[in-house]
Amino acid sequence: MNIVEMKNITKSFGSGLSKVEAIKNVQFTAAGGELLAVVGPSGSGKSTFLEIIGGLLTPDSGILTIDGQNYHDLSGNQMEKMRLDKIGFILQGYNLVPYLTIREQFELVEHIKRTPNMDRSAFAEVLDGLDIDTILDKYPADLSGGQRQRAAIARAIYADPKLILADEPTASLDSQRAFEVMKIFKDLTRLTGKTVIVVTHDTRLEKFVDQIYTITDGILQQGKVKED
Ligand SMILES: Nc1ncnc2c1ncn2[C@@H]1O[C@H](COP(=O)(O)OP(=O)(O)OP(=O)(O)O)[C@@H](O)[C@H]1O
Ligand SMILES: [Mg+2]
């Protein structure tokens, strides 16, 4: 079954002369166990696309189904529960809680979520792969951008969601660490059947993914757009 299905999804911001059509008539599906990337330049609609899938933005029109449930039919509470239980969101701005250490950010996940999190030994491997075992007792403000980014990735994975949405997850990382993150995503899709959708302008990541999409001025196309 497809975990994500988007039909004719459109979203605009503003009105009148300042109206911006951020994504236009998007058709998209993602199956279980897939690692997908949507690549496009700044302002092309990547975050808008991902935030609609994650329920952070409501589309103007179109049909969105997540794990067999039409978003349109969900109440605010049901939507919140779906987000918490099924979706791990790695936001472009990391979104760590400033007054909690990295370890406490993970503990917070245990507090707010009722379904089980990742088991300890599997999570220890993720921490090791992301090289953040040494920063667990630090606050976000005391970390580099790359460390914050890796902590945000670990937090999303720890909650053990079916669907991981990652907005520019490698923007602050050097190539080696960026590839390590993609390897972790790939292993998650292969070993646990999760679906990972990465939106990025980083073409270094293309070789890791099962399918690539291109977004240009809000229009999504499957495959790479030919460069001329
Ligand atoms: N809250 C908003 N209000 C008004 N316009 C917005 C808003 N969010 C996005 N936009 C506009 O919608 C378009 C798509 O923005 P979006 O953030 O989705 O792009 P992006 O591909 O994620 O860019 P970046 O790579 O810089 O993160 C842009 O023209 C942007 O200015
Ligand atoms: Mg963005």
pLDDT in tens, 6-24: 999 999 999 999 999 999 9
pLDDT at residue 156, rounded to an integer:
92
Range of the domain at 198: 2-222
Task: Find the range with the poorest average confidence among 19-23, 84-88, 139-143.
Answer: 84-88
Pocket test for ligand 1, best of 23, 24, 26, 46 (most atoms within 8 A of CB): 46
Ligand 1 atom at minimal distance to the Cα of residue 218? 14
Structural domain contains residue 214: yes
Give the residue, by CA position, lying nearest to ligand 1 atom 7. 13
pLDDT at residue 226 tops 80: no
If you average pLDDT over every residue of the chain, what do you get? Answer: 92
Structural domain contains residue 228: no
In angstroms, how far is CA 195 from the centroid of its own chain? 10
Question: pLDDT band for position 102 (50/70/90)?
Answer: very high
**What digits encode the pLDDT tens for the residues 151-205?**
999 999 999 999 999 999 998 889 999 998 999 999 999 988 999 999 999 988 9
In degrees and rounded to multiples of 5, residue 128 shows phi and psi of: -65, -45
Identify which ligand lies nearest to the alpha carbon of 218.
Answer: 1
pLDDT at residue 84 tops 90: no
Structural domain contains residue 215: yes
Structural domain contains residue 170: yes
Calculate mean pLDDT across residues 106-127: 87
Distance 120 CA to ligand 2 centre (A): 32
Structural domain contains residue 199: yes
Structural domain contains residue 227: no
Is 130 buried (19+), middle (13-18) or exposed (0-12) by CB count in 10 A? Answer: buried
In angstroms, how far is CA 73 from the centroid of its own chain? 23
* Token pair for 87: 């979706």
Distance 43 CA to ligand 2 centre (A): 7
Structural domain contains residue 89: yes
Provide the terminal-to-terminal Cα distance of the chain, rounded to the nearest Å. Answer: 37
Distance from C-alpha of 22 to C-alpha of 218, rounded to nearest angstrom: 5
Domain count, the chain: 1
CATH number at residue 21: 3.40.50.300
Amino acid at 62: G
Distance 117 CA to ligand 1 centre (A): 32
Residue/partner pairs of 110-118 with CB below 8 Å, 24 or more apart? 112/84, 113/84, 113/85, 113/159, 114/85, 115/85, 115/160, 116/160, 117/158, 117/159, 117/160, 118/157, 118/158, 118/159, 118/160
**Do 13 and 57 touch, CB atoms closer than 8 A?**
no
Task: Find the range with the poorest average confidence among 4-8, 24-28, 120-124.
Answer: 120-124
Structural domain contains residue 96: yes
Which residues make up the environment of ion ligand 2, defined by Cβ < 5 Å?
46-47
